[in-house]
Amino acid sequence: GESVGLHLPTLSVQEGDNSIINCAYSNSASDYFIWYKQESGKGPQFIIDIRSNMDKRQGQRVTVLLNKTVKHLSLQIAATQPGDSAVYFCAENRGYAGNMLTFGGGTRLMVKP
Amino acid sequence: GAGVSQSPRYKVTKRGQDVALRCDPISGHVSLYWYRQALGQGPEFLTYFNYEAQQDKSGLPNDRFSAERPEGSISTLTIQRTEQRDSAMYRCASSLRGGHETQYFGPGTRLLVL
């Protein structure tokens, strides 16, 4: 069925390296995408979002890329730090379906010191 | 400022009992959402409100689940005649407005039905 999914369930990187977390979506009607970070025992924390009329958006140490042609979303984290270790979820908002978010299954990022 | 708060943080109940989970959104936020999250999974939509009006309840699993937000602020998710399969983390989120607005999540209520 239509869903938001992730290619890699676990990503292990060395501290200081750049991280790339990928996400595929299948609904071409989705027009808003969000990345959340979830640390153990906490609720999802907003990282960055992007609307479908954009290809790239940058934040502090994070960049989200959207490729609508292949329905692919990625989160790039520059100079990954131990504090970045968490589970990362991408989520989509299908504008026609209201305000609910549809989440993928998550990717666990592990940063090695 | 204060974020989304939820209570209780943990709830253990026996099968067949009713439970009420509370969400206190960020002050001034119009939209309030309920999600359920299984371990290792992303949150799954249950229902949402704009002010006191329930806009979408398509994600509620069955008629044992209900939600209300009578004064457009605090919301309660009620599960009647709980079953073991209801055990999960229940999360609340709020956003300033509906549409493409950031949803801020609370810490969740862990429900365990014995």
Tokens 């979303």 identify what position? Answer: A73
Q: Does A102 contact B at CB distance below 8 Å? A: yes
**DSSP string computed for A30-86:** --EEEEEEE-TTS--EEEEEEETT-SEEE-SSEEEEEETTTTEEEEEESS--GGG-E
> pLDDT under 70 in chain B at which residues?
1
Q: Does A91 contact B at CB distance below 8 Å? A: yes
Q: What is the largest CA-CA distance in chain A?
A: 44
Q: How confident is the model over A24-57, as pLDDT tens digits?
A: 987 888 889 999 999 988 999 999 999 999 999 9
- Structure tokens, B98: 């509906």
pLDDT band at A3 (very low <50, low <70, confident <90, very high): very low
Contact A99 B108 (CB under 8 A): no
* Residue B60 C-alpha, separation from nearest chain A C-alpha, in angstroms: 13
User: Residue A75 phi/psi, 5° resolution?
Assistant: -120, 120
Contact B48 A34 (CB under 8 A): no
The pLDDT of A52-64, averaged and rounded, is 96
Contact B42 A89 (CB under 8 A): yes
Q: What pLDDT does A92 receive?
A: 92
Among all residues of chain A, which has the CA nearest to that of B34? A100
Q: What pLDDT does A63 receive?
A: 98
Q: What percent of chain A has pLDDT over 70?
A: 89
Higher pLDDT residue, A105 or B109?
A: B109
